[in-house]
Structure 1
Amino acid sequence: MKKIYLAIILLATGMIYAQENENKDQKWSGSRPDGHAPISVMGDHTHGKGEWMVSYRYMYMNMEDLKLGSDDVPFSAALAEYMVTPTSMPMNMHMLGVMYAPSNRVTLMVMGNYISQEMDHVTRMGGTFTTSSSGIGDTKVSAFYKFFNRNRQQLHAEGGLSIPTGSIDEEDVIPASAPNSVILPYPMQIGSGTWDFSLALTYLAQTDLFSFGSQLRTLLRTGTNDNEYRLGNRYESNNWVAVKATNWLSFSARVQGLITGEINGLNPALNPAMVITADTDNSGGTFVNSGIGFNTYVPKGALKNLRFGFEFAFPLYQDLNGFQLKRKETLTFGLQYAFK
């Protein structure tokens, strides 16, 4: 029996050594369907010298019903403390991005977005109303540095800046203000109003049949905006695996851990006792989200390097600070096209 175990160990060691020798000159490749992360993950890849990529993403996120901490609660629980509570909030985001690699080590990116969202409410007296906002969001610019790409593994870092091009002065008419409009609470604003910094580190690995990725990302808010508040910092971990079904199709699964901080400061135009979204104690939380999706890739022909991705994401766990709308499903579609 010992000889059998020894033979198995020697055989496994030989296979690993042979694979390492075989792969030592092979690089992690983006030219396959699982060569990019699930479409919802940003900054997952870099490009070769002189290569461009343009991308479009559409994201739909739905929030509905209330949570207090990690518990589901009825609207009446919030209405015992506030005059108004939201009941649902669908959000649509359109994202346009451009990437360019001036060298094999460095890739640059700029991304803009357009947001439209609505929020349905119910009052303590049983009335209902809806507010909405839309506009161009904050603009993000980033630089990526590739540390290495060998043995079918890659490690790269990202440093970015979020430019406050999104509005923080969105207004709408509510029953108490009609016919005049009033400023909307924090979640209904389009931008942050501050210059924010992002840092990320991404590790990628591949075999012939599947790929794996892990990314750590943080968004650090700075200063205070013109309305005397600052959104909370974000700390995020994304991990995914994708199986290459064919040379043009792959399927993926993803798990994300996310921590968002509370809003700091207070917009003096908002009454925290009126609606839960105007009270900064009801902001931030801890989330564990999951996603399943697919990527398609055109390997040759006139549309070579064109990609289409889809992901359906849903929460596994959420522990929210105070009363907040519960996150439900998120759908993300995207097109990416690389060229020289």
Structure 2
Amino acid sequence: MKTYFSALFLVATIAFYAQETNNQSLKWSAGRPDGHAPISVMGDHMHGKGEWMFSYRYMHMNMDELRDGTDDATTADALADYMVTPTTMPMNMHMLGTMYAPSDKVTLMVMFNYLSMEMDHLTRMGGTFTTETSGLGDINVSLMYRFFNKNRHSLHGQIGISIPTGSVTESDVTPASAPNETELPYPMQIGSGTLDPSLALTYLGQGETVSWGSQLKSVFRFGENDREYRYGNRYSWNNWLAIKAANWISFSARLEGLIVGELEGSDPNLNPMMVITADTNNSGGTFLNGGLGFNIYVPSGSLKNLRLGFELASPVLQDLSGIQLKNKETLTFGVQYSL
């Protein structure tokens, strides 16, 4: 936590220093391909008074193989203590977003998402089975406030809330419950079940052909949901650099530090001795993620202000609390249109 707040102070200090010492009179501009962050970064930019933006993002994340702390683990390691272990878990998310700026200082944002997940399992007896869930997730609403936009440097803050519209009681049939459905473990649930406030601070800088940015973001969990638990807090520090190769395309590199807290409480319908994903001791971790991508921007014509973004990301380092599936590649594609 101390490192996180030190990073917050560092970002604010750099941004303030840049504002005071740069003699250029130009403002940071979103009207170029690198005017937005890599497509996986949310709340990275703001809009001018009266502007709208509509967006769609598709994200595919794959989890595969097992890890305990910083060491790889095997299914035999998991099955020594549990009756069942997951082996793979692909997740697909579709996100719809709307942004509107009632003033040059304030931009409002709302995001909806639809998730679908599968988890393959191996039992101690050598059997296999798959569980599936899908549905609408939690709705995110936020307000962004611009502190300054001067000399090609910009700083804005964000405050938001996640509304628990996603289910925390998803069920499916397993060999132990057949022919009836049984409630699925925590990673297969679609929502958090709690009102989750969030805070973020984003700094942006821009040169003639290069842009860069840094975003600190926190998601806080309070209380318990209807199943008597809550997810852990999340703290992320995203940093990116983009090169404008032409007035219609840019290429980016991103590095993210992420801390995910452990689950607190427990669902009384889950047996923590049955499968590793039902044991709250196997949750949370620390990650260093890297990503490469590109943005395409239409600068003129009937499709002016249309954007396409793509990024492929993967963990560079991951230290998991307990034995869990490893995070593998994450693919994000998005379309954005401003008017």
TM-score between both structures, scaled by the size of structure 1:
0.93
Structure 1, residues 244-263: CA drift from partner, whole Å, max 9, x if none?
00000000000000000000
CA deviation string 1:284-310 (max 9, x = no partner):
000000000000000000000000000
The Cα of 1:36 is off from its aligned counterpart by 0.1
Matching residue of 2:303: 303
3-state SS, counterpart of residue 224 of structure 1 = coil
The whole-number CA distance in structure 2 between the counterparts of 1:288 and 1:231 is: 20
Query: In the alignment, residue 122 of structure 1 is paired with which amino acid?
Result: L
Determine the structure 2 residue equivalent to 1:116.
116
Match of 2:246, SS?
coil
Cα distance in 1 between the residues matched to 2:125 and 2:323: 19
- Output the CA distance in 1 between the equivalents of 2:176 and 2:334: 41
Determine the structure 2 residue equivalent to 1:3: none
Residue 222 of structure 1 and its aligned partner are, at CA, apart by 1.3
Q: Could you give the per-residue CA deviations for residues 200-243 of structure 1, whole angstroms, max 9, x where no partner exists?
A: 00000000011000000000011100000000000000000000
1:287 aligns with 287
Q: Which residue of 1 aligns with 2:36?
A: 36
Residue correspondence of structure 1 range 101-250 to structure 2 within 5 A = 101-250=101-250
For residue 64 of structure 1, what is the aligned residue in structure 2? Answer: 64
Find the aligned partners of 2:204 and 2:236 in 1 and give their Cα distance: 17
Counterpart of 1:336? Answer: 336
Rounded Cα–Cα distance in structure 1 between residues aligned with 2:275 and 2:102: 49
Distance 2:145 2:128 in 1: 51
Amino acid in the other structure paired with 1:281: N
Output aligned runs, 1:310-329, within 5 Å: 310-329=310-329
SS at match of 2:304: coil
Residue 8 of structure 1 is matched in structure 2 by none
Query: Which amino acid letter does the alignment assign opposite residue 175 of structure 2?
Result: P
Cα distance in 2, alignment partners of residues 212 and 317 from structure 1: 23
Structure 1: stretches of 5+ with no match in the other structure: 1-18
How far, CA to CA, are the matches of 1:155 and 1:224 in structure 2? Answer: 34
Q: In structure 2, what is the Cα distance between the partners aligned to 1:73 and 1:225?
A: 32
Count of residue correspondences: 320
Alignment-derived partner of residue 251 in structure 1: 251
| Superposed CA offset, 1:52-86 (max 9, x none) | 00000000000000000010011100000000000
Task: Quote the Cα distance in structure 1 between the aligned partners of 2:74 and 2:192.
Answer: 30
Q: Deviations over 1:21-42 (max 9, x none)?
A: 3x1x200000000000000000
Q: Which residue of 1 aligns with 2:97?
A: 97
Q: Distance in 2 between matches of 1:134 and 1:232?
A: 22
What amino acid is aligned across from residue 217 of structure 1 in structure 2?
K
Instruction: Provide the C-alpha distance between the structure 2 equivalents of 1:238 and 1:89, rounded to a whole number of angstroms.
Output: 25
Provide the residue aligned with 2:77 in structure 1. Answer: 77
Partner Cα separation in structure 2 for residue 113 and residue 253 of structure 1: 25
Which one-letter code corresponds to 1:197 in the other structure? P
Counterpart amino acid of 2:219? L
Q: Distance in 2 between matches of 1:99 and 1:250?
A: 23
Distance of 2:219 and 2:52 partners within structure 1: 25
TM-superposed deviation, 1:20: 3.9
- Percent of aligned positions with the same letter in both sequences? 69
| Structure with bigger gyration radius | 1
Alignment partners' CA distance in 2, 1:258 and 1:297: 29
Cα distance between partner residues in 1 of 2:191 and 2:22: 48
Aligned mates of 1:110, 1:133 — CA distance in 2: 24
- Report the aligned-residue RMSD: 1.0
SS of the equivalent of 2:187 reads helix
Quick one: distance in 1 between partners of 2:315 and 2:232?
20
> Structure 2 unaligned runs (5+)?
1-20
Which residue number in structure 2 is paired with residue 52 of structure 1? 52
Q: Give the match for residue 14 of structure 1.
A: none
Q: How many Å separate the matches in 1 of 2:95 and 2:155?
A: 25
Q: Secondary structure at the match of 1:77?
A: helix
1:245 alignment partner, SS class:
strand
In the alignment, the residues of structure 1 paired with residue 297 and residue 182 of structure 2 have an alpha-carbon distance, to the nearest angstrom, of: 47
In the alignment, the residues of structure 2 paired with residue 125 and residue 95 of structure 1 have an alpha-carbon distance, to the nearest angstrom, of 39
- Counterpart of 2:157, as a letter, is A
